[in-house]
Structure 1
Amino acid sequence: MEAILDVETEYKQKPRFKFSLVDASFLLFVVILIVFGIYSTVAWMRDSGRLPLSQFVLEGNLEYVHNSDVQSALSRIQPFGTFMTQDVTQLQHAVEDLPWVASAAIRKQWPNTIKVFVIEHQPAAIWNGTALLNDSGQIFNADPGYLHEKDQDIVKLYGPEAKSEDVLRTWRELKPQFEGLGLEITSVVLNDRLAWQIILDNGIRLELGKDALNERIKRFVDLYRHMNEKVQQISYIDLRYDTGAAVGWLSDEHRHRE
């Protein structure tokens, strides 16, 4: 025998879902409860009296950046958030604005601490008398007057702002050639016309011009080796010629004052 399925009968037997006023009220209550919970949580997170960031720890191999510098930088952030709400990137930017800070990494430590790890600029040269260059030739606006004793004898470099890396690189390339003569470069100048000038630790000024820099330095080295005691009488040497050089001598009066 074939079984006949009574579709209409089975359909009538299925219970139908009825959405009553009680169900609607309960659903509304749940929604209100969720919204209130979210609002309360956000308000709690934003409450400056709860989980305030009240301490910081400064870390790193530091010589020029001090706790007071970092504290002052962070205090300028207004309004200051809580542990939950304060943006770490904002803290990082505030610390990296300090003159001696090359980079900073910030993290929050539960429940109220900011950990600040700082890498300092390493001073390679004094730049234009008022700023400093780091090892990469980047300018940072720290005051050269506050250099520690071990850094006070670093070379003085001068030039257009966009040429800081070139000037530092040129000094590094030329330095060994002068050391071979027992001389130190105290200053390198690249003027607005992009002509080079070098001042040595014995007071001699070299005028080198814009072109054939290495060839002119070699010419100076050869000349200097043949001058013997006369070098003490030299004021400047002008090497801006295709061959040879013009030597300026200290006057008798100047030598007496010296």
Structure 2
Amino acid sequence: MPHRALQIACSRCSLRELCMPVDISAADMERLDTLVTTRRRVKRGKPLYSRGDRFSALYAIRSGFFKTRVTASDGREQVTGFQMAGEIMGLDGIVSDEHTCDALALEDAEVCEMPYDRIESLSREVPALQTHVHKIMSREIVRDHGVMLLLGSMRAEERVASFLMNLLQRLHVRGFSEAELVLRMTREEIGSYLGLTLETVSRTFSRFADEGLIEVKHRQVRILDGAGLQTIVDSAGSRR
């Protein structure tokens, strides 16, 4: 793809406010346009990068869903996160110059590749970029703390309710429905992320449906009582 086409797409991309600094000058935006050197398409089930790969770039998800996972020495896999359009991936590689997890596409996806040496260089010219990268790193730390809370103190129904409400909020920011979502991940992958068995996740979904909180049709979930789900999430905090 010609570089000029990339520039136009980056400047006018509907996800710009999610993955690029806001309130910057036109001149600085022109500089940031040069960040994206390549667009990569990743087929469903294929890796964007794998553990041990050399770290060289950050990736802004343009379309599609990903999951990140780590594998223990005995072969057990642990899902560590789900990422969607407008979010940045690859931060795990900064500390050691190699990736520490696998990033796999849950559906056909496209990412914008931003070489990290170029990010560092431009950060000296555009301070807003450096601030933005720091905010992204901080957000990842906060998210990790949230996962620790999920795994450490929440009951099964609180974990699933929190997962659904978080996913719904993230999708709504991107213009999707406030009440409906399509789960790109399997129940087993949700369980791995939440520290629950497949049976527990399925049973909790069924319970929520029986109680009129959600309606489930295969991977389509409709939120019927968001306030009720939020009450379940809040009940975890009331015990602390």
TM-score, normalising length: structure 2: 0.23
Q: Comparing both structures, which one devotes a greater share of its residues to helix? A: 2
Greater Rg over alpha carbons, structure: 1
